[in-house]
Homo-oligomer: A and B are copies of this chain.
Amino acid sequence: MAVKHLIDLDEFSHEELFKILNMANLIMKNPGYYTDSCHGKVMATLFYEHSTRTQMSFQTAMLRLGGTVIGFDNPLNSSVSKGESLKDTVRVISNYADLITMRHVDEGAAKAAALYSRSPIINAGDGGHLHPTQTLTDIVTLLETKGTLENLTIGLCGDLKNGRTVHSLIKAMSKFNNNKFVLISTKELTVPDYIKAILKKNNCPFSESTSLADAIGELDVLYMTRIQKERFLSEIDYINQKGVFVLDMEKLNKAKSDLKILHPLPRVDEIDIAVDDDPRAVYFDQTEYGMYARMALILHILDSDHKLINDTGDVNPAFTCENEKCITNKEIYLPKLTKAEENKQVCAYCEH
């Protein structure tokens, strides 16, 4: 059975992505029209790690389309705890459900699941690897609040080294015309080199800054994330620098009047709550856009015209993935798949 999955947002063509963005916009304008679009369809949410927020967003999306939801949010409650393989779980659940959204601790897990599922898989986060529906949420939010995905100066602030959502957003936005990036972080927590390589390859200007206050004035978009205390080099560094990356009204007063502030949430203290009431703060609305984005995605995936299976990569029996967080090191029956990236073969599951 050939089905269409969403493992990585990169798999969508530009045209396909805009089809989803347009659909999200249509749903927003007339949600009642879609109340029964998925009548009779069942979605499973297999959450091998807790992410109540993401799970509820998917559940609401399916319910607002008239579909229904089964699932679990704790592997300890599931057959997993009886030693069942991911393959078997997915084979069985895909007999029950028309669509599976899966969250997993291991990198490449969604890709692995897609090899065995009879129903489409939507990756709802596989470890530190990918979280494509968060990026889709971010893009819908930008399009709806800025009116365009081009000609934007996009600031990203916080832990840019480890932030999965930051990397995905940069990759996605670097494909649209004439976007500039301002990378705001400590020197130790700037984006990885492969992200800079993508920016250069796509001819995107970018600059780096260690001060949100200095950078904020030129931004059209500010994507805030948290720097965890343990990411600073030392306690002294933490005390000296933490305020530099906190958005408060004082810094916001230096910003453009049409700035839009995004945040993947949950927020801890990197945005002062006084900012919440400023019209430039769209991070709460962002969660609503995320729901519409997921509704559009579900409709797109369940569209009966999709019969294309994802490219699974090349079987390469001699390959062993060295990423210890890769699903292939947990589920040892998985075929050793690689794919070409730049000049080398990388693991087709976790891209390591």
Contacts and interface: CB of A to CB of B under 8 A. Distances in A.
Interface of A: 32, 35, 39-40, 42, 44, 50, 52-53, 56-57, 59-60, 63-64, 66, 68, 70-74, 76-79, 81-85, 87-88, 91-93, 95-97, 265-268, 273, 276, 284-285, 287-288, 291, 333
Contact of A268 (B32, B71, B83, B266): B83
Contacts of A268: 82-84
B273 A333 contact: yes
B56 A95 contact: no
B84 A291 contact: no
Interface SS of chain A: helix
A50 B75 CA distance: 11
B285 A60 contact: no
A73 B92 CA distance: 19
Nearest to A91: B284
A79 B53 contact: yes
A59 B87 CA distance: 21
- Which of A39, A76, A82, A87 is most buried by chain B, counting CB atoms within 10 A of its CB? A82
Contacts of A60: 42, 70, 96-97
A183 B70 CA distance: 37
Given A87-B273, A265-B88, A284-B92, A63 B52 contact: no
Nearest to A71: B56
Contacts of A288: 95-96
Given A42-B64, A95-B284, A96-B56, A73 B84 contact: no
Given A35-B39, A52-B77, A53-B92, 9 more contacts: A40-B66, A42-B64, A56-B70, A63-B70, A68-B68, A84-B265, A84-B266, A87-B273, A92-B284
